[in-house]
Amino acid sequence: MTTAGGCLVFCGLLPDPAPASNGKPFPSGTWRGNVPTFCHDLVRDRRTIPPVAPDRRVEVCIVGGGLAGLAAAYRLRQASILLLEHLDRIGGHAIRDRWNDIWFSGAAAYFTSVEPPLDQLYAELKLPLRKIQEPVDGAILNHHRVIDPFGSGLPRLPYPPSARKDFARAKKDFLEILHSDDCPVMPIHQATATARRYDRVSFAAWLLQEKRYHPAVKAYVDLYCRSAFGAPSSEEISAFAGISFYASEFGDRYAFPGGNAQAAEFLRDAIDRAGQDRIVPGATVVRVERKRDGVLVTYVDRDGRPAAVEARAVVMAAPKYITRHLVQGLPQDQLEAMGELRYGSYLVGNVLCSAPITEAAYDTWTDTAPFTDFIVADWVTRGSAPSKAPSDRGAKRQVLTVYYPMGYQHDLLLADGAYNRYRSRIVEHLEILYPGAASKIEEVYLYRWGHTLCHGRPGWYTRKAALASRPLERIFFAHSDNQGFPAFESALAEGISTAEQAASAIAGKRASRPVREIRSWAPGSIGMVT
């Protein structure tokens, strides 16, 4: 990073040269998703910029333009607000793109619950919810293809009878938890004593030691833990979070064309209708500090120019691994609680196909590839349950969205040649799973997400969650990781709740933390929501 004319200039990552996969050349690839520019240089590496006098004053400044920040801005849209987002697009991980007539997600795919308090928000925004039609789940396990692994596909699972029996038992157990009062929910004070006890052990320990499921059940659930939480396995996740998420997978699931991005777009449009020029993309916040009469937020704009805004209150809708570096003066116990959350890195590949490769299920899970699962991008726009035979569908093209979690190996996606390497791996393994697939692939767009999916280890939810999200005078914390859940619903609920606290603060009222219980949480194929 250098300076030129008083502006910060980042020497960014160049696209990789054009590779060849399976003898078929691809154009030079350019990363989408997160771009590690000023955020790495100024936040991670703690480089400083000179103090900047504020050139704008607002009632509330919102830091972060993912779903939590947008939900907060929507609730505060009649006030004087400014939303700063470091990416060039709003939505955080809820973004989408289009190829020909097919919308596809750059990250977050689907969600589950449609219930209070979010049902009111969905109705206000007139969100076009679409239930995902069966078959929702398929799998390729040890090269065996299975539709509905926990239901009609049980006899086809490549496991011994004892394992198949435990798959059926697991489904029964998760459904019972989902519909009981003891389903884990956040905030933690809404959870029953029985639900809180789940936070004493890892999800793996609960599966293997308490429930004594066959190891094949745990291995299958591990695919989900990698995809939904970004964790290497269920050993790294509290059973409180794992049970909450996985139980919700046995209920109805919903999606928009191109994943969860449409919710972000509807929120943005509603904010813009209430007042223009209040959302600033390409603005990397580098410091948030309390002042005598409010809060000063310093940021760098997309051209590298430092700027500042003064606000009466601030909503921090950025993830805690960033927030803990931005907000000055956080108490040590809060810093430690934030620091104990873990985040997995993630790669999403959208595979553009000249003809369908598979249309057997909406989401296909596999243990025979480095990625965990892939979805048919336009499944919910077809209007009815698809045929198993692509030739009967009349689809001329297809986009498969591939979810490729990296665990805690954050630097792998920054390495030289990473774009070509992972693009080739996706193509090669789709060819293994579906012989002839490579000849149908026209291009693969890769989305890189550096520190994406949050999760807590045993004890975090009952002992640290409230500390991590505790307000600091007029600085309030939103984001889905308030709950330690990388979920669509968590982001929206936290954004709305925190906006109400900020509104109380600027009105001179005592800010209380509103109750916002969500029954179940769902990351979709990928937990990215914010």
List phi, psi (to 5°) of 102. -110, 120
Q: Say how many C-beta atoms besides its own lie within 10 A of residue 78's C-beta.
A: 9
Query: How would you write 170-181 as a 3-class SS string?
Result: HHHHHHHHHCCC
Residues 6 or more apart in contact with residue 120 via CB below 8 angstroms: none
Q: Say how many C-beta atoms besides its own lie within 10 A of residue 50's C-beta.
A: 7
Q: Does 380 count as an annotated binding residue?
A: no
In this structure, the chain runs to a length of 530
Q: Does 403 count as an annotated binding residue?
A: yes
Centroid of chain to Cα 202: 21
CA-to-CA distance for 163 and 160, rounded, in angstroms?
Answer: 5
Which two structure tokens, joined as six digits, stand for 187? 């905030």
Alpha-carbon separation of residue 510 from 190, 233, 507 (angstroms)? 22, 42, 9
Please give the helix or strand (H or E) that residue 90 lies within, else none: none
List phi, psi (to 5°) of 308. -150, 150
Residue where the block lists tokens 């906006």: 499
Tell which residue, 500, 494, 499, has the closest CA to residue 517. Answer: 494
**How many helices (H) does the chain have, and how many strands (E)?**
15, 23
List phi, psi (to 5°) of 221. -65, -30
Q: Is 386 exposed, middle or buried (0-12, 13-18, 19+ CB in 10 A)?
A: buried
Handedness of CA 475, 479, 485, 490 (dihedral sign): positive
User: Which amino acid appears at position 370 of this protein?
Assistant: P
Binding site, annotated residues for substrate: 403
Binding site for FAD: residue ranges? Answer: 285
Binding site, annotated residues: 285, 403
